[in-house]
Chain A
Amino acid sequence: EIVLTQSPDTLSLSPGERATLSCGANQDIRNYLAWYQQKPGQAPRLLIYDASIRATGIPARFSGSGSGTDFTLTISSLESEDSAVYYCQQRSNFIAFGQGTRLEI
């Protein structure tokens, strides 16, 4: 079973700063990793897939990197609207998500 572990649990930053969110897998998942943003009362929104490809309509300040077991979501210049919970998700025999990182701006 592939387990994803996200860190930190909570991240508090100011507007304009850079956010770095991590997602680690306990097995090699190549680049089969997606990132989502979820705001209160809303469904998750796809940000990144295949570890580094931005989904349609996602601002360029969001970027993803990594492969194998270590992945990073970077938000280059934070805006207040980026306050949300961020989840990573992998592909395997069954689909699983990380536990989430809460980003507070």
Chain B
Amino acid sequence: QVQLQESGPGLLKPSQTLSLTCAVSGSSMTTDSYYWSWIRQPAGKGLEWVGRIFSGGNTNYNPSLRSRVTMSIDASKSHFSLEMTSVTAADTAIYFCARNNYYFFDYWGPGSLVTVSS
């Protein structure tokens, strides 16, 4: 069974860098051909795709966040990561990691709340 689990600091100050990691089990990141994505959701609002990374390292980012986002992957350790620089209160959200099967998301982590506050 495929499982994903997000981890990282839950509280940041404005201008700091957000760093999250997603641990993957049940799906080989070295042999399976999937993209791995980050999606966020501010409280009470809808879903916003942040970006995705392929096992080989190819990335695609949401154009609205591209200048601040970097994703990386360590397929041998079955995890991938998100960094977002210069965070503001507008980046406060639940951050989900998900397996990108072709274009849709078939497995999701439970989510990690990130709060940006001074």
- Interface positions of A (Cβ within 8 A of B): 32, 34, 36, 42-46, 49, 55, 87, 89-91, 93-100
B103 touches A34 (CB 8 A): yes
Do residues B104 and A89 form an inter-chain contact, with CB atoms below 8 A?
A: yes
**Would you call A46 and B104 a contact (CB within 8 A)?**
yes
> Which B residues are CB-close (under 8 A) to A93?
60
Give the chain B neighbours of A94 by CB distance below 8 A. Answer: 49, 60-63
B11 an interface residue at 8 Å Cβ cutoff?
no
Q: For the complex, give the distance between the alpha carbons of A96 and B63 in Å.
A: 11
In the complex, chain A residues whose CB is within 8 Å of the CB of B104: 34, 46, 49, 89, 91
Counting chain A CB atoms within 10 Å of each CB, the highest count among B62, B63, B108 belongs to B108
**Complex Cα spacing A74 to B48, Å:** 24
Q: List 6 interface pairs A-B (beta carbons < 8 Å), by A numbering.
A: A34-B103, A34-B104, A36-B105, A95-B62, A96-B49, A100-B47
Contacts of B109 in A (CB 8 A): 43
* A46, B46: Cβ atoms closer than 8 Å: no
User: In the complex, how many angstroms separate the beta carbon of B53 from the nearest chain A beta carbon?
Assistant: 13
Known: A94-B60, A94-B62. A44 touches B48 (CB 8 A): no
**A contact residues around B47 at 8 Å (CB):** 36, 44, 87, 89, 97, 100
- Choose one: B49, B106, B110, B111; the contact of A95 (CB below 8 Å): B49
Question: Residue B96 at the A interface, CB < 8 A?
Answer: yes
Tell me, rounded to whole Å, the shortest Cβ–Cβ distance linking A78 to chain B: 23
Q: Which of B95-118 contact A (CB under 8 A)?
A: 96, 98, 101-106, 108-111
The answer, yes or no, to whether B92 is at the interface (CB within 8 Å) is no
Interface presence of B37 (CB below 8 A) = yes
Selected from B49, B60, B108, the residue in CB contact (under 8 A) with A97 is B49
State how many angstroms separate the Cβ of B25 from the closest Cβ of chain A.
16
Docked pose: A95 CA to B103 CA in angstroms? 8
**A55–B63 touching, CB < 8 Å:** no
Question: Do the beta carbons of B48 and A97 come within 8 Å of each other?
Answer: yes
- The smallest C-beta distance from A100 to any residue of chain B, in angstroms, reads 5
Query: Within 8 Å CB of A90, what residues of B?
Result: 103
Roughly how many angstroms separate A55 CA and B104 CA in the complex, as a whole number? 11
